[in-house]
Amino acid sequence: MINEMGPNIEDNFDPTLDFVRRRMNASRPTDRKLIAGLLQGEGGLGHAFSSLVEKLSDSRKRYTLEQLKQRDSEAENHAATYTHVPQEDAGKSTMLRREDEGIPSALELFLITLLSDKEWIQLCKTREKPTHLGELPARNVIESVLADEPRTKKFIHAVQSDVRQFRESASTIYDAGCGPFPMLGLSAALASPRAQVICLELNPLSARIAQAIVDKFVADSSIAPGQVIIKEGDALSQPLPPEGSIDLFISETLGAGLLDEQGPAIFSRYAKSINRERGSTIPYHAKLSAALVPVNKGVLHTREGIRVEKYPFVINANGVELPILPAQEWKPLEDGRDLPLTHIPAQIEGTIDLPRLLNISAFDRNYGVHVCTEFVIDRQGLQVLTRYETFITSPMPLGVGVVTVPDELKEAKPASLKIKFSFIPGSDSRKASKVEVVRKDEAR
């Protein structure tokens, strides 16, 4: 079952097959040996899956701020790089970067190699259709989710914790947007043999791969036949299950700042189907905040407004450089409340003061408004994704990413102005948001 894919997997080029082959060829021999050992031991696929989840961890290297100058140009060219600075302290002089970029995690390798070369070719015979907002091809899902190891591990732990509460009774679990590797649905089924799991997936190729993976777990007797059902279709148009029939509703279809993904609309649509007494969602709550971020990334302004010092920064999963702003520079939105995912407001509004001791000309087109989301994933609050920790929590720029001061306000005193902004959760961050500089009496 564990075979490296050769260069002649198929004569006709297919993006997904090419991606899978490259991931296989980039894998570590030690990981292949580890997986082979787990599969030869007791417990089969279920045990191997759980063991590999626990081994997920980021390989990261530490850099000083002086070294960042040499790394800046290189960082911008690595779109798949994932980095993380756990402290929000501008005084910290370190950056963390993955050393194993391009190498699949042991869990990703395990799921890819469950299918043989022949099975991958058969699955990919029908090419992927063009993608739209909220619809990712299999290779992108693999890159953006499975490579995001902190996200994967915390989501799986949250699923295991919540589902185990239902071990003594039958339960219904929904996973909207399961992707090609239905990790969360499989985690639910493995956590409770009485769990009935329905996984929805929009992309036809991803749905076919997901079904093939589930079939492997059934054939291995790790889960029961029919325990995990893969349904191809749009979660926003599928017939809704009966009111109160869902015990746990899961969806990873969430983007940074609750933008650029369909998650908010999906959670809202299924809200009435979730059991009011014992039902829950994963993620459980979200907290939104906003900040002004310098366009010249990583700069710190002194009293005189001169840019003299760099913040530490991260490179998120999309290769975007993000300065690590101190926690006090982030303004809580919606009065700082934890928002249930089923009750996200239709529109978020906020205001931010212009930077103190900075004149209008220095501010104009040099700052952008960014929003970010922190997630409490499980109802116990044990699994939390914080700012900058993963792609779905890293700050997201609103609109075109810069704040422009209207000509008629360029002579005004900064203290008399506000930055006013609004956005629609679940929408395109560039289009369905508005950022403007107004007089304070107009900002109410």
Q: How far apart are CA 405 and CA 364, in angstroms?
A: 6
Position 417 scores a pLDDT of 92
Q: What is the pLDDT of residue 388?
A: 79
Model pTM score? 0.84
Which of 130, 72, 120 has the alpha carbon at shortest distance from 97? Answer: 72
What pLDDT was estimated at residue 53? 93
Q: Residue 362: its pLDDT value, please?
A: 81
pLDDT at 98: 55
* Per-residue pLDDT, 67: 54
Q: Could you say which residues of the chain have pLDDT below 50?
A: 1-11, 62-63, 65, 68, 71-94, 133-135, 298-308
What are the tens digits of pLDDT across the range 213-263?
999 999 999 999 999 999 999 999 999 999 999 999 999 999 889 999 999
In this prediction, residue 167 carries a pLDDT of: 83
